[in-house]
Amino acid sequence: MIKKTAIATALSAAALVGVSQAQAADYVIDTEDGQHAFVQFKISHLGYSYILGSFEEFSGSFSYDPENLEASSASVEVEVASLNSNHAERDKHILSDDFLDAGEYPTASFTSIGFEPTGDNEGVLTGELTLHGETNEVEMPVTLLGEGEDPWGGYRAGFEGSTTLTLADYGIDMSDFPEMMHELELYVTFEGIRQ
């Protein structure tokens, strides 16, 4: 269940949209050259500890215009079955129809619908997150981590963001679990390569 939401998460990547010193451009999220992007989640385990995990297979892109940040955009697609919480049996259960139902809903996606700058290198990315067959609008505060030329002649930009997801909003039934497990924290950090 957590995983599912986490996925959703992954989508927030769009956030990067909002900062800037470079010219308006399109970026592809770097998931190949050393995996410089992460979609991770954290959820309480009965109020005693936390379960941490990530989705290891995803792809996406974003664009932003430093002169018109509100027009920035981003999209991400996550392979739900790539969930990894460092415990094979738990992962199998989370991916079953008890929670994420990866067989029926193999992908999760995020498509931005707006971005509002809130300060230097900061803003709130709004988008539609689809997970477990349900689509909801989410807001994610994001921060530009940096941008500039890389050692290989390219140009990169990176950001991070986090948000809290209520699992019931995505049709994931957590009623048998303590209330603190009904929400999941999604954290994403992405490095994009300018095209």
User: Which pLDDT score is estimated for 34?
Assistant: 60
**Per-residue confidence band for 15, with pLDDT thresholds at 50, 70 and 90:** very low
**Per-residue confidence band for 87, with pLDDT thresholds at 50, 70 and 90:** very high
Whose tokens are 């049996």? That residue is 89
Which of 120-136 are b and which e, b meaning 16 or more Cβ less than 10 Å from the residue's Cβ?
A: ebbbbbbbebbbbeeee
pLDDT digits (tens, 9 = 90+) for 37-75: 999 999 999 999 999 999 999 999 988 767 777 877 889
The pTM for the full model equals: 0.83
Element (DSSP H or E) covering residue 41: strand 37-45
Higher per-residue pLDDT: 178 or 13: 178
pLDDT at 77 over 90: yes
User: Which pLDDT score is estimated for 50?
Assistant: 97
pLDDT digits (tens, 9 = 90+) for 144-173: 999 899 999 999 999 999 999 999 999 999
User: Which pLDDT score is estimated for 79?
Assistant: 98
pLDDT digits (tens, 9 = 90+) for 89-138: 999 999 999 999 999 999 999 999 999 999 888 889 999 999 999 999 99
Helical residues (DSSP H) of 56-164, grouped into ranges: 88-95
**Per-residue confidence band for 7, with pLDDT thresholds at 50, 70 and 90:** very low
pLDDT at 3 over 60: no
